[in-house]
């Protein structure tokens, strides 16, 4: 039973190992490389979040047109209750009225043929009337706010006319969102170019390593022949030493090329957002495919599709809206408002339960700050215009340089075909002459080195061709087209 379980566990471990090996040993094509870079690269993720911020800011600007409702609540404690005391007025009224009543009584006595009231009688009547009035009139003292009171109110404001500022702010945010989208596209194009460059570098170095391995093998065969001929006394010791040096140099060149390949793999993983020890495999070769697009067509594509130009165009719109915002500060601002008190128990007689209205405001003077901001906005508009003109010239230079670099590399690659054929023939011929004693070791080595130089230079020319093509397509705004060109290589 234990043996059966052990066998099952061994089979499971073997299956998991095979499956994990299949998952890790991933062979990447150029198309897969680009897709992985666009999904995993940290810079892509950074600018994707930046674009999401711009989208949120655009939606935020839409909220400026809607009313704002705020709940305001407070709890207050004052040093004394808030009250009003009109007792002096009440006392004055009592005194005046009591006096009048005394005079009326005096007149009444005189009309009845009675003598006038004596001072004692006047004083007694005055006190009687004052006491009666004091009992009749209420106390002229009112508490408006208790020492401790609370408030809670809903306050709503609605912009009615802001001088065009709100509409300009919305257009500004929309332009910034489109600019962020264009910037994100530009970053995607850059990452695509980096991914293609790193992919091509690995393909080039793999073929360069293979070429140097072949050269090393050829040098080793030559050294073996030199050792045999030296043992037979047919060549000088110098020829044998020269063959040994040639093998050493070829081995060192191969070692350097392999190190360059390892470094290229590190850069490749970094662009794809992979760990430094993530195993990836590239099985591809540099093969020539002609590009027939004219320089004029490529320039037109760049002017219409280059995301940098689109981004500058959106910045122009944003600068124009900023000017509108600054200009709105010279116009009146009209806002509607409303307020509703939730606690009416603590309201004084002077405070309403609810209130609605409109508020008009206009800046008259603030030290010319608005004027200077408007002048700065005008300068910003002109600055973006100059930036656009300069960018178009730079794009034109970019397309021209990449196109001419591509054509130069293409011509160099085509011209080197005859040189490679000649070098291969020279290696064969000098090797035969050396083996028959008619040639020298130096001639064989020089022929091998010449062949190696031409092969590496031809590979490098083809690499430069595709690098320039990729840069050209990035300039036109269509870096993904490099996959089409690459996949349609002549087999």
In this structure, the chain runs to a length of: 491
CA torsion through residues 31, 32, 34, 35, sign: positive
Domain ranges for the chain:
28-66+162-332+368-487, 87-139
pLDDT reported for residue 242? 84
By CB atoms closer than 10 A (0-12, 13-18, 19+), residue 219 is buried
Half-sphere exposure (Cβ direction) of 105: Cα atoms closer than 13 Å: 17
| Pairing label, strands 26-27, 141-145 | unpaired
| C-beta separation of 307 from 482 below 8 A | no
Residue 35 is predicted with a pLDDT of: 92
Of the CA atoms within 13 Å of residue 92, those in its CB half-sphere come to: 4
- What pTM was computed for the model? 0.76
pLDDT in tens, 446-466: 888 888 889 999 999 999 999
Cα separations in angstroms, 250 against 77, 243, 271, 424, 452: 93, 11, 32, 17, 10
> If you average pLDDT over every residue of the chain, what do you get?
85
Per-residue pLDDT at 7: 44
DSSP code at position 80? S
pLDDT digits (tens, 9 = 90+) for 89-124: 877 887 888 778 877 887 777 777 777 778 887 788
Quote the CA–CA distance of 356 and 349 in Å, as a whole number: 18
Report the pLDDT value the prediction gives residue 309, as an integer from 0 to 100. 93
**Model confidence at 68, in pLDDT bands (50, 70, 90)?**
very high
Task: Report the distance separating Cα 57 and Cα 140, nearest Å.
Answer: 58
Q: What band does 435 get if pLDDT is binned at 50, 70 and 90?
A: confident
> Does 9 score more than 70 pLDDT?
no
Provide the pLDDT for residue 8: 44
pLDDT for the residue 4: 52
Q: Rounded to whole angstroms, how far apart are CA atoms 374 and 325?
A: 9
For residues 444 and 173, give the distance between their C-alpha atoms in angstroms, rounded to a whole number.
71
Report the alpha-carbon angle 359-328-173, nearest 5: 105
- Give the rounded percent of residues in the chain with a pLDDT score beyond 90: 43
Cross-strand bridge partners of residue 149: 76
Q: Cα–Cα distance between 467 and 196 in angstroms, integer?
A: 8
Tens of pLDDT, residues 171-225: 999 999 999 999 999 999 999 999 999 999 999 999 999 998 988 888 888 888 8
Q: How confident is the model at residue 491 (pLDDT cuts 50, 70, 90)?
A: very low
Looking at residue 153, what DSSP letter applies?
Answer: E
What average pLDDT does this structure show over 278-302? 89
Burial class (CB in 10 A: 0-12, 13-18, 19+), 27: exposed
Tell me which of 1.20.1600.10, 3.30.200.20, 1.10.4160.10, 3.40.50.720 is the CATH number of domain 28-66+162-332+368-487: 1.20.1600.10
Q: Average pLDDT, stretch 377-390?
A: 92
Query: What pLDDT shows up at residue 489?
Result: 55
- Cα radius of gyration rounded to whole Å, the chain: 47
- pLDDT the model gives residue 469: 94
75/149 Cα distance (integer angstroms): 6
């Amino acid at each position: 039973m234990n043996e059966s379980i052990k066998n099952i566990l061994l089979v499971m471990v073997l299956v998991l190992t095979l499956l994990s090996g299949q998952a890790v040993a991933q062979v990447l094509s150029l198309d897969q490389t680009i897709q992985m870079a666009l999904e995993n690269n940290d810079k892509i993720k950074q600018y994707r979040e930046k674009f999401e911020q711009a989208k949120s800011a655009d939606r935020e600007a839409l909220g400026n047109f809607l009313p704002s409702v705020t709940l305001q609540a407070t709890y207050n404690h004052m040093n004394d209750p808030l009250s009003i005391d009109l007792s002096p007025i009440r006392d004055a009224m009592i005194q005046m009225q009591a006096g009048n009543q005394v005079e009326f009584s005096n007149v009444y006595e005189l009309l009845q043929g009675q003598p006038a009231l004596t001072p004692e009688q006047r004083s007694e009547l005055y006190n009687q009337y004052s006491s009666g009035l004091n009992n009749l009139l209420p106390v002229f003292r009112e508490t408006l706010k208790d020492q401790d009171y609370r408030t809670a109110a809903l306050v709503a404001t609605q912009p009615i006319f802001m001088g065009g500022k709100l509409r300009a702010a919305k257009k500004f945010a929309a332009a910034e969102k489109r600019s962020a989208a264009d910037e994100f596209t530009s970053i995607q194009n850059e990452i695509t170019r980096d991914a293609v460059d790193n992919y091509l570098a690995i393909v080039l170095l793999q073929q360069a390593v293979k070429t140097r391995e072949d050269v090393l093998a050829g040098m080793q065969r030559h050294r073996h022949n030199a050792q045999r001929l030296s043992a037979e006394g047919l060549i000088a010791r110098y020829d044998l030493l020269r063959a040994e040096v040639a093998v050493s140099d070829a081995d060192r060149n191969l070692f350097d090329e392999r190190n360059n390949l390892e470094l290229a793999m590190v850069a490749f993983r970094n662009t794809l957002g992979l760990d430094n020890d993530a195993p990836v495999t590239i099985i591809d070769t540099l093969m020539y495919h002609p590009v027939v697009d004219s320089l004029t067509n490529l320039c037109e594509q760049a002017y219409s599709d280059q995301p940098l130009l689109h981004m500058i165009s959106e910045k122009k719109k944003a600068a124009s809206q900023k000017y509108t915002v600054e200009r709105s500060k010279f116009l009146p601002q009209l806002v509607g408002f409303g307020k509703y008190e939730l606690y009416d128990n603590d309201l004084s007689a002077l405070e309403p339960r609810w209130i609605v209205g409109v508020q008009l405001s206009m800046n008259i003077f603030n030290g010319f700050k608005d004027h200077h901001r408007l002048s700065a906005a005008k300068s910003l508009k002109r600055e973006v215009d100059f930036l656009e003109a300069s960018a178009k010239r730079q794009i034109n230079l970019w397309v021209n340089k990449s196109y001419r670099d591509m054509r130069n590399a293409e011509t160099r690659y085509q011209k080197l075909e005859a040189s490679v054929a000649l070098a291969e023939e020279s290696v064969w011929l000098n090797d035969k002459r050396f083996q028959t004693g008619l040639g020298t070791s130096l001639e064989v080595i020089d022929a091998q080195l010449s062949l190696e130089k031409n092969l590496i230079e031809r590979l490098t020319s083809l690499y430069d061709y595709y690098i320039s093509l990729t840069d050209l397509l990035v300039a036109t705004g269509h870096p993904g087209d490099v996959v089409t060109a690459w996949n349609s290589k002549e087999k």
